[in-house]
Structure 1
Amino acid sequence: MTLDPRAAIAAAPMHWRQVAVVALCIALNALDGFDVLAISFAAPGIAAEWGIDRATLGVVLSMELLGMAAGSVVIGNVADRIGRRPTILGCLIVMAAGMMAAAFARDVTMLSVIRFVTGIGIGGMLSSTSAMVAEFSNDKRRGLNVALNIAGYSTGAILGGVVASALLASTGDWRSVFMLGAVASTVAIPLAIFMLPESIESLIARRPAGALESVNRTLGRLGHAAVDALPPPPAQVVKPSIGSLFSRSYAGVTVLLTIAYFAQILFFYYIQKWIPKIVVDLGFDAAQAGGVLVWANVGNLTGAVVIGLASQRFDLRPLVAGSMLIGFFAIGAFGLAGADLMRLSLTAAIAAFFINAGVVGLYPILAQTYPAALRASGTGFVIGVGRGGSALGPVVAGALFAGGSSLLVVSLTMGIGGLVAATMVFLLPWAQRRARP
């Protein structure tokens, strides 16, 4: 009997080539993190140069989130249909071109359109790399690797933020931030071409022409013996479609996970999008505001790593729900920090730790919930709809600020998302039991 190559990869220690694939996907998500936050670092300069108010700025800040929503849903389904590798390469090209174009934007409308298109590439990248990492990891390291992949987002925000703050301090030109992202994304294209093979699980699920040869070629590179034939297809083939996500087996968890991600990511992007403007309005300059956002992303990264490590020893669901609940109280502390740069940095970092632990913890849950044929589609749908809703976050916060609400009131209002998300995560076992025949 031919050994299933998926079982061989799941049981064996990770080969260095598997580690390299995971590492490159983490690096690509680091680009995602910087590309998304580039507009946040640039926001004070844009508002000053173009004379736009908070409400209009909130709309601009939300545009790539809308693009990410479309990219996650549409491109995630494309990745299940044509493969992970070509989808990742296409998204990377869109990101590089979009960052370059943003540096030459001349008005709010032009910049908004560019950020929307860039967001499509970012959203597709996130869902595709999440599936790729899960499929190149063994059973022991899968949860940790998926969490580290998402942590790459915060790593990019931290490292890119340090450089962006230095650029803003030396040049005073917000366009330099986008140029930095364009150069970094362009450099990553040849690395992805040479280092990313197609995943074996995707090849087996899709069975394109030459699938057996491609599977054996990748198995050889990973130090495994070739197989004589592909594993037989399942008795009931799952089609990579939105309809499959709402079949009896997956409808309940799809709804709960989508609501959870929607609510938690709305909460997350309040921190990510508004910190620079909040800090500047408290009397600090743009470079100092960027520093506070960097500290928030230190909290993001630490929370992601801790939740990934903890997932190897403890049940993930209560860890994720607990982080979401604590995040609500932590954001209240940020709302009370006042015009003190140290308190703002510390409370932002603590709040971001718990908020992002809740976000990142959802990704291993998604990888465990959906089979290979639906993994990118399921992940893409959940984060796509979630990010579409999260685009409301900066807008709602902007409207609350414009209406005269205090920092504490706005922070706690946005923090309600964490309470909603925790409730959905607690309900997941109930939905999975109801789906069983």
Structure 2
Amino acid sequence: MNNQIDAFRAALDQRPLSRYQIQTLVLLILLLICDGYDAQLLGFVVPTLAQEWETPKAAFGVVFTCNLLGLTVGSLLLTPLADRFGVRKTLLSCVLLFAGLTLLSAWANDIYTLAAIRFLCGVGMGGAMPSAMALMADYAPPRMKTFFVTMAAAGFAFGGAVGGFIAASIMQIYGWHSIFIVGGVAPLLLLPFLYLWLPESLSRLFRAKHMSAALSRMLDKFVPQWTPPAPVLEEGKPQKVTIVDLFRYGYLKPTIFIWGSCIASFTLLYFTVSWLPTLLRDTGFSSSAASLTTSAFLASGTLGAVTLSYLADKVKSKTWLVGKVMVVCGLATASVGFEHGNATFTILAVMVAGFCLIGGSLTLNGVISNFYPPHIRATGVGWALGVGRLGAVSGPLVGAMLIAMQIPLVGVMLLAAIPAILSGLCAINITHPDTGTTKQPGQALGTNQLPKV
């Protein structure tokens, strides 16, 4: 099976981009825009909910935590199912789950109901993003693999940025309920197009005998008049792939560093998107100005993702690029705490931090999605993002604690810079197993050229 997938991707790389590749990319970008909007919208509605429900802002840390715990559960438990039963089926189920529950969030009337709904919603969102990235990695031309995957993932950041503009424009008129309604309706409208046009993962198509008709249709679209080679039965091939394969065949050390980098970057990212609007309001920003500045953080991250992913496909070491960018992110994050009376300086520092943090993180995600072999790709991405959610869970909690302690903004942002530095150090140490001496999970020695990181 692996030699057939390698041959298919080589055929993709020798051809111009097809409209089906562009169509797949656009669909996944739109999906992750919805996913990103739904994941970030709590940060925009919490200040209003705190006033309307007469609840301290710090108490909403439990809602952020439940949402992120759901994201963790979805990433860890649903992505192995994607590798076993098909990425497409899992992805569609996740979209239906998080769209319906986001819509239901509009009718929550207390903090505990909202926390429960957002946990279940997070399960769907947690399974959607790694599945989408794994699917994009399958159909991206190898010469542009990091760029394509990161472009799709950048939709997540762009969706969060859109949320800020929507919050600033409609929440004062239609109330906080409208933010959740938009977040639920949009992916439900997209769902029929995903069902009709998204292909199945390559490992599923080439492995499952009952998928032969779907495989033929896919080949006719993406590589017309191309015939796959006969499958090679590889000596010593495992009969069943498990999560343990992420730690065997030389993958132990890089997997640990991948997880470490994800944990650290997620800690800072979710701390920022959860509490930046509140921190800015406490320093004198208006509600709309705080939302728009947070949107500027996310929008600059989208620009960073596009720029850095393009550079990553051009440089020799993608992980060194990511590591250096994360160090710059730490410096920019610390700078947000200084001269916060100067709105222009604060906004500029926030945008530089967003460019580096989101751009660096999404580029690293693009590298990860091409790091593991195809038949455990969704599992590798899902577990990296799922374990990274440990940082995502701790980020809002630490923010709530720092706000409750009334630590000045300078001190808060200096502490926030530490995870960025740690993420960069972990990224620099990610190296791929040696192709000459290390066997990939599920294949014989030296049959594939592993992607460079």
Partners of 1:412 and 1:405 in 2: CA distance: 11
Going from structure 1 to structure 2, the CA distance change for 1:334 and 1:211 (only over 3 Å counts) comes to same
1:139 to 142, 163, 175: 142
Partners of 2:55 and 2:314 in 1: CA distance: 49
1:4 to 4, 7, 23: 7
SS in 1 for 2:143: coil
The answer to whether residue 266 in structure 2 is matched with residue 250 in structure 1 is no
Structure 1 window deviating more from structure 2 (326-335 vs 276-285): it is: 276-285
Going from structure 1 to structure 2, the CA distance change for 1:40 and 1:185 (only over 3 Å counts) comes to same
The answer as to whether partners of 2:11 and 2:223 remain within 8 angstroms in 1 is no
Partners of 2:433 and 2:425 in 1: CA distance: 13
The match for 2:417 is 415
The answer to whether residue 83 in structure 2 is matched with residue 80 in structure 1 is yes
Q: Deviation at 1:223?
A: 4.0
The answer as to whether partners of 1:292 and 1:344 remain within 8 angstroms in 2 is no
1:28 to 25, 31, 49: 31
Give unpaired runs (5+ residues) of structure 1.
none
Q: Deviations over 1:362-420 (max 9, x none)?
A: 11221232001110000000110101332110111110121121112111212211111
Partners of 2:128 and 2:36 in 1: CA distance: 11
Going from structure 1 to structure 2, the CA distance change for 1:214 and 1:234 (only over 3 Å counts) comes to farther
The match for 2:352 is 350
The match for 1:219 is 219
The answer as to whether partners of 1:324 and 1:421 remain within 8 angstroms in 2 is yes
The answer to whether residue 156 in structure 2 is matched with residue 157 in structure 1 is no
Note the aligned Cα RMSD (angstroms). Answer: 2.2
Going from structure 1 to structure 2, the CA distance change for 1:434 and 1:329 (only over 3 Å counts) comes to farther
The answer as to whether partners of 1:216 and 1:226 remain within 8 angstroms in 2 is no
The answer to whether residue 130 in structure 2 is matched with residue 104 in structure 1 is no
The answer as to whether partners of 1:240 and 1:377 remain within 8 angstroms in 2 is no
Q: 2:155 is matched by which residue type in structure 1?
A: G
Q: Deviation at 1:213?
A: 2.7
The answer as to whether partners of 2:91 and 2:131 remain within 8 angstroms in 1 is yes
The answer as to whether partners of 1:216 and 1:227 remain within 8 angstroms in 2 is no
How do 1:302-381 and structure 2 match up within 5 A?
Answer: 302-314=303-315, 315-381=317-383
Going from structure 1 to structure 2, the CA distance change for 1:408 and 1:240 (only over 3 Å counts) comes to farther
Going from structure 1 to structure 2, the CA distance change for 1:47 and 1:236 (only over 3 Å counts) comes to farther
Q: Deviation at 1:434?
A: 12
SS in 1 for 2:313: coil
Structure 1 window deviating more from structure 2 (356-365 vs 375-384): it is: 356-365
Partners of 1:434 and 1:8 in 2: CA distance: 24
Give unpaired runs (5+ residues) of structure 2.
440-453
Q: Deviations over 1:176-203 (max 9, x none)?
A: 1101111111111111111102133432
Q: Deviation at 1:271?
A: 1.5
Going from structure 1 to structure 2, the CA distance change for 1:228 and 1:258 (only over 3 Å counts) comes to closer
Q: Deviation at 1:92?
A: 0.6
Structure 1 window deviating more from structure 2 (124-133 vs 405-414): it is: 405-414
Q: 1:212 is matched by which residue type in structure 2?
A: S
Going from structure 1 to structure 2, the CA distance change for 1:433 and 1:230 (only over 3 Å counts) comes to closer
Q: Deviation at 1:230?
A: 5.3
Q: 1:302 is matched by which residue type in structure 2?
A: L
Going from structure 1 to structure 2, the CA distance change for 1:378 and 1:223 (only over 3 Å counts) comes to closer
Q: Deviation at 1:233?
A: 4.6
Q: Deviations over 1:15-53 (max 9, x none)?
A: 111110011111111111100111111110111112222
Q: Deviation at 1:218?
A: 0.4
Q: 2:381 is matched by which residue type in structure 1?
A: T
The match for 2:391 is 389
Structure 1 window deviating more from structure 2 (10-19 vs 149-158): it is: 10-19
The match for 2:192 is 190
The answer to whether residue 210 in structure 2 is matched with residue 231 in structure 1 is no
The answer as to whether partners of 1:46 and 1:174 remain within 8 angstroms in 2 is yes
Partners of 1:4 and 1:365 in 2: CA distance: 21
Going from structure 1 to structure 2, the CA distance change for 1:435 and 1:298 (only over 3 Å counts) comes to farther
The answer as to whether partners of 1:65 and 1:387 remain within 8 angstroms in 2 is yes
Q: Deviation at 1:229?
A: 6.5
The match for 1:130 is 133
The answer as to whether partners of 1:168 and 1:287 remain within 8 angstroms in 2 is no
Going from structure 1 to structure 2, the CA distance change for 1:434 and 1:285 (only over 3 Å counts) comes to farther
Structure 1 window deviating more from structure 2 (31-40 vs 286-295): it is: 286-295
Q: 2:153 is matched by which residue type in structure 1?
A: I
SS in 2 for 1:4: helix
The match for 2:19 is 16
The match for 2:285 is 284
Q: 2:14 is matched by which residue type in structure 1?
A: A
Q: What is the number of residues matched between the two proteins? A: 434
SS in 2 for 1:247: coil
SS in 1 for 2:232: coil
Going from structure 1 to structure 2, the CA distance change for 1:70 and 1:240 (only over 3 Å counts) comes to farther
The answer as to whether partners of 1:80 and 1:240 remain within 8 angstroms in 2 is no
The match for 2:270 is 269
Partners of 1:422 and 1:334 in 2: CA distance: 19
Could you state the TM-score of these two structures normalised by the residue count of structure 1? 0.94
The answer as to whether partners of 1:32 and 1:122 remain within 8 angstroms in 2 is yes
Going from structure 1 to structure 2, the CA distance change for 1:430 and 1:18 (only over 3 Å counts) comes to closer
Q: Deviation at 1:12?
A: 2.5
Partners of 2:383 and 2:193 in 1: CA distance: 28
The answer to whether residue 124 in structure 2 is matched with residue 121 in structure 1 is yes
The answer as to whether partners of 2:322 and 2:428 remain within 8 angstroms in 1 is no
2:403 to 378, 401, 404: 401
The match for 1:55 is 58
Q: 1:225 is matched by which residue type in structure 2?
A: Q
